[in-house]
Every structure is written in C-alpha cells, then in structure tokens.
Amino acid sequence: MLWENLKRGLLRISGGREMSALVDQAIVSGANFITNVILARSLGPRDFGVFALAWMAVLFANSLQFAFVITPMMSVGPKQEPADRPLYYAAVLVQEIIFALICSLAVLLAVRLSAQHFPRWDVHGLGIPLSIATLAYLLQDFVRRYLFSTRRSKLALASDAVSYLTQLPIILWMAPRAHFTSQAALWVIALTSLAGFVVGCYWFEPIRLQFRALRAIFLRHWKISRWLAPSAFMQWSSGNLFVMAAPFYYGAAAAGILRASQNIVGVAHIWFLGLDNVVPAEAARRMHSKGLDASFDYIKQILWRWGLITLFFLALVALFPSLWLKIYGAKYEAYGYILRLYALFYFVVFFAGPLRAGLQALEYTAPLFWSYLAMTGFSILFAGPFAKHLGLTGVMLGMTAAQILFQTIVGAGLVLRVRRMRRDFLLTPPVEV
C-alpha cells in the first residue's frame, strides 16, 4: 500500500516522467542503509562512530556543493534557451571540477589537523582515502543532479546504479575479513563513485567554453549562492553541533548510536531526496512557463501528499523502535527512545524541501541565510548544555527545536515574498499596445 501511494504520488508530481527519480533514490538510500548496517555490525559502535565522524566531512563538503553549484544549476538551468545551453553547462562543469578539487584538499588538511588536536577520535590514516572519497562523491553527485535538472532521470539512475550497486557487494564481501577497516570502506566508496561519475559524463551534452560566459554565469550563480554559501556553513554547524556534542561528552559510541538511528528513519530519503531531484527544477520551469500561481499550486500538492506519506512511515518506525534497531545487533536495541525522537525530527525536516524549492524558483535565498543564522545561534547556545544535562535525548530535542525555528523563518520569508510580488503586480499599470 505504501509503495502504491509513493508510485501514484510521484506519477502525479511529474506527469509520469520521473518515476525513475523514485527508483533512483531507492537505490541510493537503500545502498547507503545496507552499507551502514554492514559497517555498524562489523566495526562495532566505537569504530563505526569514527567512520560516522569522518563521513561528516564528506557531507559538509556536499552541503557546500549544493549551495555553490547544485542549487544555482537547478534554479537557472531549466530556464536556459537551447542555444545557450552549451555555454551554460560548460561553465557549470568547470565550476564543479574546481570546487571538488578544493574540497578534497581541504578535507585532507582537516583530517591531519583533527588527528593532531583530537587524538582520541582516532582518525589518523583516514586522510588520503577520505580526501579521494570526497572528490569522487562530489563529482558523482554533481553529474546525477545535472541529469535530473536536464530531465534525463533514467540516465541519472544508470549512473547511480553503477556507483551504488557495485559498492554494496564489494563492501559485503570485504566486511567479514579481519583487515576490514574504515579506510577500506572509504576506498571502495571512492572507486565506485568515480565509476558512476565517468558513466554520467558519457551523457553530458555538448559544451562550449567561453570566458565571457564563464564570468556571466558565475555572477548569476553567485547572486543565489551568496546567501546559500554561508547558510551551508551554518546549516552544518547548527545541525551537527548537537551531534558533535554527544561524542564530546560520551565518546565515539554515541555518534554510532545516533548514526544507526538516523539510518533507519533515513529510508525517508528515498522521497526526500527524490523530491529534491525534481521539485526545484520543476517549480522553476512552471514559474518560467506558466507563472507564479502554477508553481506554488504544484508545491502545495507536494506538501500535502508527501507530508502524509512521511507521517505514515515515521509513525510506523516510532511504534516499533526496538524491532528496527535489532538489525544492528543487540548493543543498539536499548536505544529505541532515540529512534522515536529521530522520527519526530525527520517529520519536521520534511517541510524544508518544498519550502526551499519555492525560494529557489524565485531565485530568492536570503531567508535561508537568516534561518540558518538563527539555528546556528541556537545551537551554539544550547548544544553543549542539552547534551551534558539531558544526554542523547537532549541532543535530539535540541536538533528538533532548531529545525522548527528554521521552518518558521523560511516559511515566513516565502509567504512575505509572494505577497510582495502579488502586490507589486497589482500596482504595476498594464502596458498599452
């Protein structure tokens, strides 16, 4: 029944064209889920916590990529005329390669500094594999988002299948071996991600480099990402300050417990990220061709339909938390209350996607900056006290409160912007022909 509702919902969203977006995200999220289960069982809570802490660097780099490259591309790309596409996507590809290389080097430096200043995290030896994994992961994620933004989701599915459906059996084969470590897992992820990127590049449309176009497109992207870039820093810090506070007080095992619980509710990423792959571009396309009302009617449909599906799934998780945690082993089973709190947290998180899509369609991202600024201030003030005095429960409650603050500010900014646009439209006199 849930699968049929998901299928009908996505078919309505995109007129039947983007069914592969859901299948694609099911492959990505499913592979990530099973990979994390294998790592949690084979490495144990502490070593899995070390891997989870290291992987946070990749997620941070990906959030910056989303701000600098992906969001502008999915907002501006669908509005390009056919004659302008070769110049536009050439500029985006150059921007992506430069960005991914910078992030890879930054991660290498960060790991070496972390090994010196936080020796109990035990991240020495992760520098090279984590750096290469970051580079490959960013490139593969870019090419899949590019294929989605150009309405070729079946090809994005092929790229992800190469990346994730090869990663999983290799890790499954290596996990029982005595020498299996976090470093080995990172090398597997790096190599399979690179293979997915190469496959995706095969379908990259013809491009044409021109310096003037590079500069013009960079400046247009910057008008969007100038708010999103600092927002990405604050998004990572505001959400992860609570997560980072847990191992600070309770050791790396706390990070492993949080990661295991997140991985279960993370099944919702099948539609969370699936919608992120299609909704911003489709909202921008409808705004460009049909106007403001058509774009926001579409976003309202997303909120209602997928909000109900999210609520049903998370309620199912919250009712039987110990049952789901058993898959990680007996050591995790006692933390069902954390899984319940993660279910609440993810329900709040759902609303961020459609709200962001509305702002992206308007090419108006300032509210994201202010909302993340508020979240960061809240997290700086309360992450330590919540974790110290309330334990893992405090971590989850703090993360949920920060998300509610975020949604309130973003929603208010979107509503006020739309009202202003409608008012300006009514006040503008019609042009006489």
Residue 258 has pLDDT above 90, yes or no: no
Which of the two residues, 292 and 106, has the higher pLDDT score?
Answer: 106
Question: Taking the CA atoms of the chain, what radius of gyration do you get in angstroms?
Answer: 21
Give the Cα separation of 358 and 356 in Å (integer): 5
Pair of tokens at residue 97: 């390669």
Confidence label for 13 from pLDDT (cuts 50, 70 and 90): very low
Mean pLDDT of 376-405: 84
Banded model confidence at residue 425, pLDDT cuts 50, 70, 90? low
Q: Of the given ranges (9-18, 210-219, 280-289), which has the lowest mean pLDDT? A: 9-18
Residue 329, amino acid: G
Judge whether residue 257 has pLDDT over 80.
Answer: no
pLDDT band of residue 10 (cuts 50, 70, 90) is very low
- CA 329 and chain centroid, separation: 27
pLDDT at residue number 16: 46
Cα dihedral sign, 339-36-58-90? negative
pLDDT of 96 above 90: yes
pLDDT at 358: 83
pLDDT (tens digit per residue) in 64-81: 898 889 888 887 887 788
Lowest-confidence segment of 37-41, 202-206, 425-429 by average pLDDT: 425-429
| Stretch 274-299: mean pLDDT | 80
Confidence (pLDDT) at 272 = 82
In terms of phi and psi (left: phi > 0; alpha: psi -120 to 50; beta: otherwise), the region of 273 is: alpha
pTM of the model: 0.67
Q: Which residue has the higher pLDDT, 131 or 289?
A: 131
Annotate 325-359 with DSSP letters as a single string: HGGG-GGGGGGHHHHHHHHHHHHHHHTHHHHHHHH
* pLDDT over 60 (residue 18): no
Higher pLDDT, 118 or 286: 286
User: pLDDT at position 136, please?
Assistant: 96
Q: Write down the pLDDT at residue 331.
A: 73
C-alpha torsion angle, residues 197, 199, 205, 206 (rounded to 10)? 90
**What average pLDDT does this structure show over 73-96?**
86
Tell me the pLDDT band of 137, cut-offs 50, 70 and 90: very high
Least confident segment among 89-93, 323-327, 402-406: 323-327
User: Collapsing DSSP states into helix, strand and coil, what is residue 122?
Assistant: coil
**256 has pLDDT over 50:** yes
Residue 213's alpha-carbon distances to 60, 65, 149, 219, 225, in angstroms, are 29, 21, 20, 10, 18
Cα separation of 260 and 30, whole Å? 14
What's the whole-number mean pLDDT along residues 258-272?
80
Cβ proximity of 90 and 205 under 8 Å: no
Asked if pLDDT for residue 433 goes beyond 50, the answer is no
Give yes or no for residue 8 having a pLDDT over 60: no
Grade residue 17 by pLDDT with cuts at 50, 70 and 90.
very low
- What percent of the chain clears pLDDT 90, i.e. is strictly above it? 15
Higher pLDDT, 247 or 345: 345
Q: Which has the higher per-residue pLDDT, 199 or 152?
A: 199
